Structure 1
Amino acid sequence: MKKRIIFALILLGFSSMSSQIVLARELFTVFYGNELSLGFTLAGWLFWIGFGSWGIGRLRASGITHKITVFSLAQILLSLILPLSILAVRFIPRAFRFVPGEIIGFIPMGIITFVLLFPVCILSGFLFVLGCEIYKGNSDQARQIGNVYILEAIGATLGGLFTSLYLIRVFSPLHIMWLLGALNLLSGGLLLAGRKILLFSTAATLSGYIFLLVSGGVGFINRYSLNKQWRGFEVLASENSVYGNVVVTKREDLYSLFVNGLYDFTVPDELTAERSAHFPLLEHSFPKSALLIGGGVSGQLGEVLKHPVEKVDYVELDPLVVDMAKKYLPANEPLSDSRVTVITNMDGRRFVRTTAEKYDVVMMSLPEPYTAQLNRFYTLEFFTLVKNLLKERGIFSFCLRSGPNYLSEEQVSLYAGLKAALEKVFPEVKVTPGESNYFLASKQKGVLSLDWRILMEKLKKRNIQARYMREYYLSNELSLERVDSFEKRLARAQAQGAINRDFHPVAYYYDMALWASQFGRAFGRIFGAVTPVGIYFGALAIYLLLALPVFFKAIRRKIPSLGVLTCVATTGFAEITFQIITLLSYQALYGYVYYKLGIILTSYMIGLIAGGWLITKRLNQDTNHSLFIKTQAAICVYPLVLPLLFWVFSGLKGNFSFWLGANVIFPFLPIIAGFIGGFQFPLANSIYLKSIKSDVGHSAGLTYGLDLFGSCLGAALTLVILAPIVGILQVCILVAGLNLIGLFLLIEERRRK
């Protein structure tokens, strides 16, 4: 029976991590995939698991008579909920009448996310606490909790790696959840030995799962649910790669491509294709070489080839986008042109940093900086990298969408910050007014012109036929009055706005404010009201609130080991923050390399397992409190070292330092943070169990719940507010201060005993 319990606990971690990855990706296909939607997903996941362990598990687990039977029945229930959760996500648009690709408000987004994640996460949290009750590997209660914590972490590590690197490449999300459900049915059945009726029912259900999987029934359900999700469109294909979900739809003669549920482009769309190519290329007197980052399959590449270019490099991160475009979209002959080199599985920023090529024109056709991943293409540091690969009189361009005659305050803030960053790098910068605002930057002064007459003259000399790049349109859009008015408004905002940087990614916060303003001016004002000064005062208020027990004896008496419990919560906040800022910094410095990000997440779990295993084997009640204080001190120091490390590697030059940072330092840096967190959790349970003589379920539920509640707050606040508004350095200092308060409480607690 012990081996079956160990398998069940490892499977719990595997199922939790795997389903988190799959559900997060599915939710991205429904919601506008900015940092707010990711924050909601992470926060909802951590909150409900925390509630399941703290609220339900802590209060109910110890009172259950037949614990193993209840554990197995909970696994069986989880096996049913997992595939149903995918179907629920896909039927959201139909239930709420959302149009595919529509931007959904953050209030319905938050409600829907929290409701959808509730059943899976509640059960996962409850199963962890109940698992601590049924695991009898050691008579010592603290070691019992520590061992379960390690087993669950092993499962989570395996689940994260296997799902990210294999399952999502081979199977649809519904098939993955179906397989997880079958595994949980198998585990539940193994634990029901001796209960014949329940065992027979479980075996029959598992047989049904396998039959539907083998017979193609799951595939039919998958196709049916996709068609319902994309109602009004003919779904030509929906496939997953390690980078995301790509859907190609058809409506009449128009073909559209959606990436992670968000509209990317439609073909044919001659207006966008012409403008994106001709504006930057006409600014150059004689472009021979060009680099296109994204957008090549949307028609832009064909327009680029109308110019006298001899070489075009087209970089696309996800090869699935190119493959599906070739298979389903019309007019993709430019991809086969002898002048074109298509580079896939390569992050655009990484290519810009590492290539030895030089270009006359660099065109970036990526979505707006609505996520931290995209934001790194709009920073001062990236603009500097682009300038270094431009030839003399070289030109760089990108485009943002707006209204033809109106810019909101949120748009002005975003545009002004990006223009200010460009002007720090390039001697000459111009932005076109209109529905699409093209940012043009030149390596030399006197190259750029927004005079439509000059642009038309070059177009005629090159004998280029264009439908929308014509005098009829440009004479109005680029009139002197419109250009002058637009430039003056941006100039006024630039004096107050912050410059977008790698370690201070303010642009994606501005973009979130712009997104929120679409659902009411009040929402935009809420984002606009958050300032660095307000954050610092808020942090000070939280510090003072947490320090209150030092001055009020009644609080200390009411909550035993308050210092330890506070540190568990602040460590949860810190650990998720460390993960986020390490991922943000890695992407900024080395580009988006999916398997390396998987290694970063896995290395954290390896550290967690190692720390938990080491302390679980050496728990000693006489020295636990002293060790806990030292561990908390390490959590205070670690965030102060991180920004120094980021700064050092951002300034290093040369291939060896690049290789060292990308392949050794950053991927395995989280092992340290994971080790500290894994080391602290069993210690906290040992101290708490000694202080109140509690049972295993109560202690495990309380500490695990506090850890996850802290992580919930850390994920939401760091992603959405702290990192973009105050920057990574200040976030690290704030986190160090938060944990310093916990250390202060611990020392005071020890002194008074």
Structure 2
Amino acid sequence: MVDMFTVFPGWLKALPRIQGLILLSVTMMGISHMVTQILVMREFLNVFYGNELVFGIILSNWLLLTGLGCYLGGFLVRPGRGIKLLVVSQVFVAMIPVLYILTIRVMPTLLFVRGELLGVDKVFLSSILLLAPYCLLTGFLLVLACELFKFGGPAVQIGRVYLMDNIGDILGGFLFSFIFVYLFNPFQTLLLVLMLNMVAAILLAIHIRKAILALAISLLLAFSCFLLLAQDLDKASTRIQFRGQELVWFGESPFGKVVVTKLGEQLTFFENRVPLFSTENTVENEEVVHYAMVQHPNPKGVLLISGGVSGTLKEILKYGGVERVDYVELDPLILEAGERFTDTLSSPKVEIHNMDGRLFVRKTGRRYDVIIVDLPDPETAQINRFFTLEFFGEIKKIMNKDGVFSISLSPSGNYVSEEKMVLNSSLYKTLKKVFSNVIVVPGGRDFFIASDRELSYGIAERLEEAGIETEYVNKYYLDGVLTPSRIRVVMESVRAETRVNRDLKPITYYYHLRYWASQ
């Protein structure tokens, strides 16, 4: 068998200079294509509050438009011509991604109602309109590069164009995943990609003796570098996204973008433009913690998966018998923001674990009296992992006898749609497969409390018996929230005929997609 690593340099070295420059150009476009795709997907995540269905729609449109560009290129490209067209087009490939990111960030403010959850139709139309210029152009350029590379050589060499394009894609993915995402913001990353493409375009222009064109591209490159380095476009565009609020801090991590804003005295923390919590949202923190904690007579060990920065840790530590709280958070930027702007992580009783919550549950050797999962609805396949039969079984293994577990869904309100009823029922029946007793406590969210011990709606009385001081979750608040009619409505919402949610059969995730699509 021939070793490709000995053959590859040989055929590359033997190429005429013009063909070598075309392959360099194609490789740079491959890098640009992959980095742009990743950045655009991350930005669309901020706009569309994306789940995997949204990603699928965007990627499908990307492939469709790129394929259409290739198809049109077959009619537009003429043999023996087009080096200058390749040079000019590569300049556009370098510039368009910067405009993309700016457009995607300001689009929700200009076109949509703030906080609007976009439906499938708007996701499809918005993405296809935004992606069209770049995808059509890159598809066309691939056909153009194949025609130019073939000119003066055997047709079989076209495969080498695709090879270098794929190498560029691989390099782009590697550079972004292991370097760019940790060191640079999106505009700095795009500046690097812009420089690579423009340098390739300048080399091609020089080779075909287009000195004025090469000079013009050089000046444009210098201006672009000055603009992107002198102006903090990342901060300016982020400020537009959160217009009406003071932008306090923001940062990028492999998991997304974390932003902290201020309105009056209240700080609000966002991840991918989804509000995580606010510093003054005391009632939500109290509901998350106390509905579960009061079910145990003397909780000592507590596990909290996500949400601790919001203030729930302070509520947990109101229970004097608590000796240790393990707080698990996946995104290090959320922890960094919490340390910067709150004092919730400073207790010596709290041990912070920056890792995946599911992985922690599998690996920990500790056992707990109360476990609280403070995550959003199972709107993505990743989050759905915390709502499955297998996860609940893993939870029970690390609980002490008669331990208490809590997880929640969006509130049902006074009217429960069919989609919400099926979603609630699936979670309830999945919990019942593992725990003897499950109750649903209506509030700011529907809290599913599960245990093998007896559970009670007498939360106010138990808070008083334990001597726990709260601002909102008390007798007067709960008399209005835990009315017999509301409890009846929420318990009736878990009686639909549904299936159990499993890791390899994520039916609750599917039900949530139906619920989302019905909004």
TM-score range, shorter chain: over 0.9
Counterpart of 2:514 in structure 1 is 513
| 1:294–1:315 Cα contact (<8 Å) kept | yes
Counterpart of 1:339 in structure 2 is 349
Counterpart of 1:448 in structure 2 is 455
Q: CA offsets, 1:146-170, max 9 Å, x none?
A: 2222211111111111112221222
> Which of 438, 451, 454 is 1:429 aligned to?
438
1:21 equivalent in alignment to 2:21: no
Shift of 1:481: 4.2
Shift of 1:9: 1.5
Q: Secondary structure at the match of 1:58?
A: helix
1:57 equivalent in alignment to 2:67: no
| 1:290–1:313 Cα contact (<8 Å) kept | yes
Counterpart of 1:235 in structure 2 is 247
Taking a change above 3 Å as real, the CA distance of residues 246 and 468 of structure 1, as seen in their structure-2 partners, is: same
Normalized per residue, the structure richer in helix is 1
Larger RCO (alpha carbons 8 Å, 6+ apart) = 1
Q: CA offsets, 1:422-475, max 9 Å, x none?
A: 111112211113442101111x2x43122x2xx333312322111221111223
- The residue identity in structure 2 corresponding to 1:165 is F
For residues 262 and 100 of structure 2, the distance between their equivalents in structure 1, rounded to whole angstroms, comes to 27
Q: Secondary structure at the match of 1:490?
A: coil
Q: CA offsets, 1:560-586, max 9 Å, x none?
A: xxxxxxxxxxxxxxxxxxxxxxxxxxx
Normalized per residue, the structure richer in strand is 2
Q: Secondary structure at the match of 2:407?
A: strand
Counterpart of 1:42 in structure 2 is 59
Shift of 1:179: 2.2
For residues 341 and 123 of structure 1, the distance between their equivalents in structure 2, rounded to whole angstroms, comes to 51
- The residue identity in structure 1 corresponding to 2:508 is A
Counterpart of 2:4 in structure 1 is none
1:135 equivalent in alignment to 2:145: no
| 2:84–2:205 Cα contact (<8 Å) kept | yes
> Which of 108, 121, 141 is 2:122 aligned to?
108
| 1:33–1:262 Cα contact (<8 Å) kept | no
Taking a change above 3 Å as real, the CA distance of residues 174 and 317 of structure 1, as seen in their structure-2 partners, is: same
Counterpart of 1:207 in structure 2 is 222
Counterpart of 1:655 in structure 2 is none
Taking a change above 3 Å as real, the CA distance of residues 274 and 138 of structure 1, as seen in their structure-2 partners, is: farther
Counterpart of 1:9 in structure 2 is 26
TM value normalised by structure 2: 0.92
- The residue identity in structure 2 corresponding to 1:396 is F
Q: CA offsets, 1:363-400, max 9 Å, x none?
A: 00011110111111111111111111111011110111
Q: Secondary structure at the match of 2:375?
A: coil
Q: CA offsets, 1:277-316, max 9 Å, x none?
A: 1011100111000000000001111101101210000000
For residues 59 and 374 of structure 1, the distance between their equivalents in structure 2, rounded to whole angstroms, comes to 46
For residues 183 and 140 of structure 1, the distance between their equivalents in structure 2, rounded to whole angstroms, comes to 28
Q: CA offsets, 1:7-44, max 9 Å, x none?
A: 11111211111100011101111112222321222112
1:477 equivalent in alignment to 2:481: yes
| 2:82–2:148 Cα contact (<8 Å) kept | yes
- The residue identity in structure 2 corresponding to 1:275 is E
Counterpart of 2:500 in structure 1 is 499
| 2:22–2:149 Cα contact (<8 Å) kept | yes
Shift of 1:208: 1.2
Counterpart of 1:298 in structure 2 is 310
Counterpart of 1:353 in structure 2 is 362
Shift of 1:138: 9.4
Q: Secondary structure at the match of 2:345?
A: helix
Shift of 1:48: 1.1
For residues 138 and 481 of structure 2, the distance between their equivalents in structure 1, rounded to whole angstroms, comes to 57
| 1:360–1:391 Cα contact (<8 Å) kept | yes
For residues 255 and 334 of structure 1, the distance between their equivalents in structure 2, rounded to whole angstroms, comes to 14
For residues 66 and 237 of structure 1, the distance between their equivalents in structure 2, rounded to whole angstroms, comes to 51
> Which of 160, 163, 173 is 2:173 aligned to?
160
Alignment of 1:393-412 (within 5 A): 393-412=402-421
| 1:405–1:434 Cα contact (<8 Å) kept | no
1:415 equivalent in alignment to 2:424: yes
Counterpart of 2:3 in structure 1 is none
Counterpart of 1:363 in structure 2 is 372
- The residue identity in structure 2 corresponding to 1:318 is D
Q: Secondary structure at the match of 2:294?
A: helix
For residues 234 and 478 of structure 2, the distance between their equivalents in structure 1, rounded to whole angstroms, comes to 47
> Which of 91, 97, 113 is 1:76 aligned to?
91
Taking a change above 3 Å as real, the CA distance of residues 137 and 396 of structure 1, as seen in their structure-2 partners, is: farther
Counterpart of 2:339 in structure 1 is 326
| 1:192–1:198 Cα contact (<8 Å) kept | yes
Shift of 1:45: 1.3
| 1:414–1:511 Cα contact (<8 Å) kept | yes
| 1:82–1:178 Cα contact (<8 Å) kept | no
Give aligned-pair identity as a percent.
Answer: 37
Shift of 1:210: 2.5
1:169 equivalent in alignment to 2:182: yes
Q: Gapped runs of 5+ residues in structure 2?
A: 1-17
- The residue identity in structure 2 corresponding to 1:107 is D
| 1:138–1:144 Cα contact (<8 Å) kept | no
Q: Secondary structure at the match of 1:333?
A: coil
For residues 285 and 103 of structure 2, the distance between their equivalents in structure 1, rounded to whole angstroms, comes to 37
| 2:389–2:431 Cα contact (<8 Å) kept | yes
Shift of 1:262: 1.4
For residues 350 and 242 of structure 2, the distance between their equivalents in structure 1, rounded to whole angstroms, comes to 34
For residues 246 and 406 of structure 1, the distance between their equivalents in structure 2, rounded to whole angstroms, comes to 34
For residues 485 and 400 of structure 1, the distance between their equivalents in structure 2, rounded to whole angstroms, comes to 15
Shift of 1:136: 4.3
Q: Secondary structure at the match of 1:192?
A: helix
Shift of 1:244: 0.7
| 2:79–2:147 Cα contact (<8 Å) kept | no
Shift of 1:403: 4.2
Shift of 1:139: 4.4
1:188 equivalent in alignment to 2:197: no
| 1:284–1:447 Cα contact (<8 Å) kept | no
Q: Secondary structure at the match of 2:433?
A: helix
Counterpart of 1:251 in structure 2 is 263
| 2:80–2:151 Cα contact (<8 Å) kept | no
Q: Secondary structure at the match of 1:314?
A: strand
| 2:32–2:94 Cα contact (<8 Å) kept | no
> Which of 468, 485, 491 is 1:464 aligned to?
468
- The residue identity in structure 2 corresponding to 1:58 is G
Q: How many residues align?
A: 499
Q: Secondary structure at the match of 1:85?
A: helix
| 1:165–1:242 Cα contact (<8 Å) kept | no
Q: Gapped runs of 5+ residues in structure 1?
A: 519-753
Alignment of 1:283-682 (within 5 A): 283-307=295-319, 308-328=321-341, 332-344=342-354, 346-442=355-451, 444=452, 446-450=453-457, 452=458, 455-491=459-495, 493=496, 496-518=497-519
For residues 226 and 481 of structure 1, the distance between their equivalents in structure 2, rounded to whole angstroms, comes to 44
| 1:360–1:390 Cα contact (<8 Å) kept | yes
For residues 396 and 49 of structure 1, the distance between their equivalents in structure 2, rounded to whole angstroms, comes to 48
Shift of 1:64: 5.3
> Which of 250, 264, 267 is 2:276 aligned to?
264
- The residue identity in structure 2 corresponding to 1:31 is F
| 1:288–1:311 Cα contact (<8 Å) kept | yes
Q: CA offsets, 1:476-509, max 9 Å, x none?
A: 4333443244323422x0xx21221111112222
For residues 218 and 297 of structure 2, the distance between their equivalents in structure 1, rounded to whole angstroms, comes to 74
- The residue identity in structure 2 corresponding to 1:118 is A
Alignment of 1:704-715 (within 5 A): none
| 1:167–1:176 Cα contact (<8 Å) kept | yes
Q: Secondary structure at the match of 2:516?
A: helix
| 2:412–2:446 Cα contact (<8 Å) kept | no
